[in-house]
Structure 1
Amino acid sequence: MTLDTDLHERIAELHDRFVKDGSHALLVVLQGFDGAGKDHVIRQVFGAMDPAGIHVHSFNKAAGEEAEHDFLWRFHRHAPARGWVHVFDRSYYEEVISARVHGLVDAEEAAERCRSINDFEQILHRDGTRLMKVYLDIEKDEQAERVRERLTVRSEQAEFSAADWKDRELWDEFQRAYADALGATDTEIAPWHRIDADPRPEAQAEVARRLIALLESLDPQYPELDLDEVRAAGLDPDDLPPPQ
């Protein structure tokens, strides 16, 4: 099922204005269990945007040079420039959720990292980056069905991961880690949007509506025509029709 045409067109229009205005950057953080629908949201909602103004980043476990720096370093490198939208398919929040569940950090270290995340997001916001953080909240039984689906649908089979299935054994631990992380980082400048992911089309539409509301709040505008450039082309600005 595709996104409603009105929502698709509105996102496309606002994104075009956002890119050409160039006053802000937008960082979208997508979190949720495997099978919650992050890929579908990216395709259906952010697929409405011009590819020339958006980039999607997926992050694996830190390795090499990435592992030699602080846990936020590799994510800061991919923060968007003004006029760009970047989508993090999972993000630095894995460093306080999955890392905690799997014993790489304890609860105290995870809380300290959450404070660092708040500082990091404050830096981004102060320099013109707006954040939209989405947690796709899926029920355990629905998540199991979607992961099983990957075993039977040819186009989905490459997405199946034994690790993701085994993580279901730690469901309650993940729920606690998510609750702590989201509660500690739900701030005025970077609030969390918790969206019911069980009805897939409705979840995508809700993400789209909240994205539209954020872009509308920024009120991006097309730049004014440079009259000096018009004159340099040998044209008379007074002869031009009014802008549409």
Structure 2
Amino acid sequence: MRIDTKDFRVLEGDKVHLEKWPTKVDPVYKSKDQYKSLLEEHVAKLSTMQRLHHASNRHAILLILQATDAAGKDGAIRHVMSGVNPQGCRVYGFKQPTEAELEHDFLWRTSQDLPARGRIAIFNRSYYEEVLVVRVHPDILDREAIPDAPHHDRKVWHERYRSIAEFEKHLGVNGTRVVKIYLHLSKEEQRKRFLERLDDPEKNWKFSDADLKEREFWSDYTKAYEECLSATSTDDAPWFVVPADDKENARLIVSQIVLDTFEGLKMSYPKTSADREHELQSIRKELTK
């Protein structure tokens, strides 16, 4: 079953108003068993495509996941990428910057973890935190000690949008396909998931006081996401706004987006040259003696 993901894609130049984007849609599965079957199918295809991706060694894939707390980023990574060879895929999480990282430009710390050709990198949060959490909490910008950067000046954020867009264009020209997914969770569903974490002893560790504190800034984050998605979704590095209130449905949509990305690379296994074919035949003769 192929899921049409075009309805979730932010077109270049679109002005995003998140209240118009659903947090829940009709599921693409009809039962839990069908969900498991579809996910297994997607995972198997991703495994095959990842081997081809590694062998062709022509492109790199950078998958960026952004969302509010409890939106399901970790679960999506764990389920969708479960069949991918760990040698060809790395996951990176970016929390509060260290003092050393604050001494560099805002793209520096993530640039060190960009994927090589034939590899996949997943950023669980990313350099986009610099126009999201930093915008909501301007004291972080003060710590970055950027000359002439008052946090009330919109120019700061527009300059960062431009830096990001140009950075991603540079990556694309050099063979890295950038795919960005925003897991769109409703405030009510987040409340339910927070309560679930409190009520389930096995999930208590997932909850922190900071999660509740950040919830107070919901409208600020919504505004920051809207401007960010509008300014940085391009034809070559698009944003996808994936409804996240239904975890299973979100995972199927995310896996289809990744599959579509692989298929768009038009990959093929390297052709064997005449000299290499001759060498292989000689090896065969040695092995069959």
Determine if the TM-score, normalized by the shorter chain, exceeds 0.5: yes
Task: Provide the identity percentage.
Answer: 38
Superposed counterparts of 1:2-81, under 5 Å = 2=36, 4-81=39-116
Match for residue 129 of structure 2 among 53, 78, 94: 94
1:83 aligns to 2:130 (yes or no): no
- One-letter amino acid of the counterpart of residue 75, structure 1: T
Aligned length: 238
> How far apart, in 2, do the equivalents of 1:119 and 1:36 lie?
28
Partner of 2:171, secondary structure, is helix
Using the size of structure 1 for normalisation, the TM-score is 0.91
- Residues 207/233 of structure 1: CA separation in 2 closer, same or farther (3 Å cut): closer
CA contact (8 A) 1:230 1:236 kept: no
User: Paired residue for 1:128?
Assistant: 175
5+ residue gaps, structure 1, are 238-244
Partner of 2:282, secondary structure, is coil
> How far apart, in 2, do the equivalents of 1:227 and 1:124 lie?
34
User: Which portions of structure 1, spanning 4 or more consecutive aligned residues, are displaced by more than 4 angstroms?
Assistant: none
Structure number with the bigger relative contact order (C-alpha 8 A, sep ≥ 6) is 2
> How far apart, in 2, do the equivalents of 1:21 and 1:63 lie?
37
CA contact (8 A) 2:71 2:190 kept: yes
User: Paired residue for 1:140?
Assistant: 187
More off after superposition, 192-201 vs 7-16? 7-16
> How far apart, in 2, do the equivalents of 1:55 and 1:156 lie?
25
Superposed counterparts of 1:109-128, under 5 Å = 109-128=156-175
Q: How many Å apart are 1:147 and its aligned residue?
A: 2.0
> How far apart, in 2, do the equivalents of 1:130 and 1:5 lie?
24
5+ residue gaps, structure 2, are 1-31, 142-150, 285-289
> How far apart, in 1, do the equivalents of 2:260 and 2:41 lie?
14
Q: Deviations over 1:87-138 (max 9, x none)?
A: 0000111110110011234433122111110111111111100011000000
> How far apart, in 2, do the equivalents of 1:149 and 1:80 lie?
35
CA contact (8 A) 2:39 2:80 kept: no
User: Paired residue for 1:157?
Assistant: 204
Q: How many Å apart are 1:236 and its aligned residue?
A: 8.0
> How far apart, in 1, do the equivalents of 2:58 and 2:262 lie?
12
More off after superposition, 6-15 vs 200-209? 6-15
Q: How many Å apart are 1:159 and its aligned residue?
A: 1.9
More off after superposition, 12-21 vs 147-156? 147-156
Match for residue 172 of structure 1 among 201, 207, 219: 219
CA contact (8 A) 1:34 1:147 kept: no
Using the size of structure 2 for normalisation, the TM-score is 0.78
Cα-Cα RMSD: 1.9
> How far apart, in 2, do the equivalents of 1:166 and 1:72 lie?
27
> How far apart, in 2, do the equivalents of 1:148 and 1:30 lie?
23
Q: How many Å apart are 1:156 and its aligned residue?
A: 2.3
- One-letter amino acid of the counterpart of residue 80, structure 1: P
More off after superposition, 205-214 vs 133-142? 205-214
- One-letter amino acid of the counterpart of residue 78, structure 1: D
- Residues 233/213 of structure 1: CA separation in 2 closer, same or farther (3 Å cut): closer
User: Paired residue for 1:242?
Assistant: none
Partner of 1:35, secondary structure, is coil
Match for residue 203 of structure 1 among 250, 256, 265: 250
More off after superposition, 106-115 vs 71-80? 106-115
